[in-house]
């Protein structure tokens, strides 16, 4: 646990008692704060009281007396589509509102660091797609290189549940827009922006607000190095905002698909090869084509981001390349789970929007595509240019019929359930083909989350493998 600094003898309120809220309450108490908590769920409040927490009804004005700050869980709206009533009351009273990410950054450094030979570092990764894989890949590279490291944030351990840093340790954090949007302190040593595509627009008041939430990671504290994906205009804008000139190597531009040879520092992937350029000269190259844990252009972009971040820490290209070879990928993200009778089965349940699904569809050939669930605005219409490698689609869930109408001339079948989709694909697939789960939709019509959806798919495939 990382005790929160600067809260001794203060009364701090915590809103939301999920994983991050409970960890926040514990870290505040460890820092000497008097902690009061509130959650909208009656059962959650009852459990909190049973666990010895002080539950205070923050919907009542009289209970705000003496509270110096409100710490809210990232999933609770604080601005759009409208603030949670408790947060709105804090705004009205002028009480500062923060989240666990802000508390982490203001509490991570301690006086113990004065005795360290190498100060600990923080790498923070944000973006629309690929940030989980990039985060896990950076952590994997560091471990393979023998560097002390911890993984946390939106993946792995909650930030305040991490251990205090050791000499030379690197903490790698995945941060969502929900987390960066509100945090009052954001001071990573290296910040990574993977890419941007429309998502969570209701929560951020539109695409501009969504981008601004991501941009805060770079604008609030100013990282020593910024790794910026420049395949979209927002990334190019951000890189231009941060760099003093095209040769400013504090900004490392990355791309999957375009050459970046004219900048102070850049890393890009083209035709399966990663290239690093410094001051317009190539200094390293890695063949990514046979790395099974990093299939497709979208994973090549993730590889570029991880390579750039770890190079900024001083790792050698060959150290990074060796780690690439041993990276097996993350569950539910272009994860090869089996090869049965010459047919490859790939779980990309995390592809919950069309942009992520497009990246998965371009990573493989001869695809039997399982898609569907709670479709988002526009359905799969924008995916039509990416489905030329689809032999047949199997549509499931709430949006199955809508997806079928948008599938154009692509052969397809409405099968409704995952069991039926796997059974039909198994019966029809031929050696050399890939059965790809890339839903292009949320899971909530049939599953509590994308992980459960992917686990169900994997279990069905495992049953096939057993005969």
> Per-residue DSSP letters for 214-274?
HHHHHHSS--SEEEEE-SSHHHHHHHHHH-SSTT-TTEEEEEESS---SSSEEEEEETTEE
Sign of the alpha-carbon torsion through 445, 399, 335, 193: negative
Helix, coil or strand: residue 156: coil
259 among the known binding-site residues? no
Q: Is 115 marked as a binding-site residue?
A: no
161 labelled as ligand-binding? no
Residue (of 140, 247, 267, 113) closest to 192 by Cα position: 267
Number of H-type helices and E-type strands within the chain: 15, 22
Contacts of 273 (CB under 8 A, 6+ apart): 285, 286, 287, 288, 289
Tokens 């995390």, located at residue: 350
Q: Is the dihedral of CA 423, 129, 73, 85 positive or negative?
A: negative
Conformational region of residue 205, where left means phi above 0, alpha means psi within -120 to 50, and beta covers everything else: left
24 is in an annotated binding site: no
Q: Kindly give the interhelix angle for 233-242 and 207-219, rounded to the nearest 10 degrees.
A: 30
Could you give the 3-state DSSP secondary structure of residue 329?
coil
- Torsion sign, CA atoms 249, 252, 253, 257: positive
8 Å CB contact between 182 and 99:
yes
> Would the annotation count 292 as a binding residue?
no
Query: Is residue 432 a known part of a binding site?
Result: no
390 conformational bin, left if phi > 0, alpha if psi -120 to 50, beta if neither: beta
For 179, phi then psi, to 5°, come to -80, -40
The response to whether 132 counts as a known ligand-binding position is: yes
CB–CB of 95/102 below 8 Å? no
CA-angle at 269, arms to 174 and 392, nearest 5°: 85
Contact 103, 160 (CB under 8 A): yes
b/e string for 219-232 if b means 16 or more Cβ within 10 A?
Answer: ebbebebbbbbbbb
Residue (of 227, 248, 194) closest to 309 by Cα position: 227
- Nearest-5° Cα angle at 391, 377 to 338: 95
| DSSP assignment string, 275-323 | EEEETTEEEEEEE-TT-TTS-HHHHHHHHHHHHHHHHHTT--HHHHHHH
Residue 326's φ and ψ, nearest 5 degrees, are -95, 0
- Binding-site residue numbers are 127-133
- Binding-site residue numbers for ATP are 127-133
């Amino acid at each position: 646990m990382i005790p929160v600094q600067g809260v001794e003898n203060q009364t701090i309120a915590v809103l939301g008692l999920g994983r991050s809220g409970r960890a926040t309450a514990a870290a505040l108490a460890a820092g000497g704060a008097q902690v009061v908590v509130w959650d909208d769920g009656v059962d959650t409040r009852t459990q909190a009281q049973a666990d010895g927490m002080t539950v205070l009804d923050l919907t009542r004005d009289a209970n705000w007396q003496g509270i110096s700050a409100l710490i809210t869980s990232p999933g609770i709206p604080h601005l759009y589509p409208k603030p949670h009533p408790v947060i709105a009351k804090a705004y009205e009273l002028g009480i500062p509102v923060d989240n666990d990410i802000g508390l982490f950054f203001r509490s991570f450094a301690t006086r113990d660091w004065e005795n360290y030979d190498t100060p600990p570092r923080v790498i923070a990764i944000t973006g629309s797609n690929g940030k989980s894989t990039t985060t896990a890949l950076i952590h994997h590279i560091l471990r393979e290189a023998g560097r002390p490291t911890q993984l946390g944030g939106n993946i792995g351990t909650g930030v305040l549940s991490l251990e205090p840093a050791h000499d030379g340790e690197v903490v790698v954090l995945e941060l969502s827009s929900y987390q960066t949007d509100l945090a009052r302190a954001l001071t990573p040593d290296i910040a990574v922006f993977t890419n941007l595509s429309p998502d969570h627009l209701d929560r951020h008041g539109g695409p501009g607000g969504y981008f601004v939430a991501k941009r805060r990671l770079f604008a609030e504290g100013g990282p020593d190095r910024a790794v910026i994906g420049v395949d979209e205009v927002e990334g190019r804008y951000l890189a231009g905002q941060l760099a003093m000139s095209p040769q400013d190597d504090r900004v490392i531009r990355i791309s999957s698909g375009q050459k970046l040879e004219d900048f102070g520092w850049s890393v890009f992937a083209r035709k399966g090869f990663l290239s690093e350029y410094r001051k317009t000269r190539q200094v390293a190259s890695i063949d990514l084509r046979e790395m099974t844990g990093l299939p497709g252009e979208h994973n090549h972009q993730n590889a570029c981001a991880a390579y750039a971040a770890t190079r900024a820490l001083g790792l050698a290209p060959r150290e990074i390349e060796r780690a690439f070879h041993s990276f097996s990928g993350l569950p539910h993200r272009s994860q090869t789970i089996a090869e049965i009778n010459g047919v490859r089965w790939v779980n990309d349940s995390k592809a919950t929007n069309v942009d992520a699904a497009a990246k998965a569809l371009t990573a493989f050939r001869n695809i039997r595509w399982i898609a569907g669930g709670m479709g988002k605005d526009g359905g799969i219409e924008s995916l039509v240019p990416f489905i030329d490698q689809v032999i047949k689609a199997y549509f499931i869930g709430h949006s199955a019929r809508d997806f079928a109408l948008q599938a154009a001339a692509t052969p397809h079948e409405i099968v409704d359930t995952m069991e039926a989709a796997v059974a039909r694909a198994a019966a029809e697939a031929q050696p050399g083909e890939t059965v790809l789960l890339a839903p292009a939709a949320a899971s909530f019509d049939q599953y509590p989350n994308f992980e459960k959806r992917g686990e169900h798919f994997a279990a069905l495939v495992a049953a096939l493998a057993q005969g």
